[in-house]
Amino acid sequence: MTQTALLPEIGLGTFRLKGQEVIDSVTSALKLGYRHIDTAQMYENEQEVGEAIRQSGVPRDEIFLTTKVWWESLKHDELIASLEESCRKLGVERVDLTLIHWPSPQGEVPMVEYIGALNAAREKGLARHIGVSNFTIAQIDEALAVPGGEHIVTNQVEVHPFLANRRVVEHCQAKGLQVTGYMPLAVGKVMNEPVLVQIAEKHDATPAQVALAWVASRDIVVIPSSTKPAHQEANLKALQLTLTDDEVERIDRLNVGERIADPDFSPDWDE
């Protein structure tokens, strides 16, 4: 199934944000015009995210809300129960997108089981769409081939100038999947990269905006995390920035395969 523009092209990431901080972050983002909010069971902030959405006054059907199922809840019944709990915490009947946050470590839970459960949750009305996160090329191919896998719309992976993740990105796009890029600012590291600083100066922009524009230029959905309204607004404006071919090539050369999210249960990465 080809999905060309299902997810809004920019969203607000909420990883590491808790309590009032995440409420304030989501509230200001929605006020600025964000309509894509990304959370996860593991972030332990679904309740606060839901509270901010309800208090925002933005109609629920205008917000694209994503959550993710943690790898410890991948068995069929546990997955569905965990997603029901996520919806309760978020205060919604269903989310717009549910992702498998990480593939089952060492394949402990068969993919046919948890992709099937994910699709069953979709059919049950707990999610409008389903997808995966941190899947390798081989895992994407396996997921798309099992029953229910035909409904997968995205693979959310780490993408920033120091980790282009080109092989998996291009493979997913060739399969008709949107790619969502998390940590697009490399947890702030982009701010001090000389190449990005130089390019930013030419555009009267910030290095963060240049990094986001580079990721977006690859038809990747970006979900930067920010608690400051000024930074959130700047991130939105980054999508209006057009880089030259030469600038894109210079940023491309920054790729050194530097992976930030690499826990001990990670799959065998392609890059």
Q: Which residues are catalytic?
A: 43
Please tell me the distance from the alpha carbon of residue 6 to that of residue 4, in angstroms, as a whole number: 6
Contact 87, 126 (CB under 8 A): yes
Sign of CA dihedral 59, 60, 64, 67: positive
- Other beta carbons within 10 angstroms of residue 62's beta carbon come to 9
Kindly state the DSSP code that residue 4 receives in the 8-state scheme: S
**76: annotated binding-site residue?**
no
Q: Which helix (H) or strand (E) holds 156?
A: strand 152-158
Q: How much is the CA Rg of the chain, to the nearest whole Å?
A: 18
Known binding residues for substrate are 101
Task: Specify binding-site residues.
Answer: 101
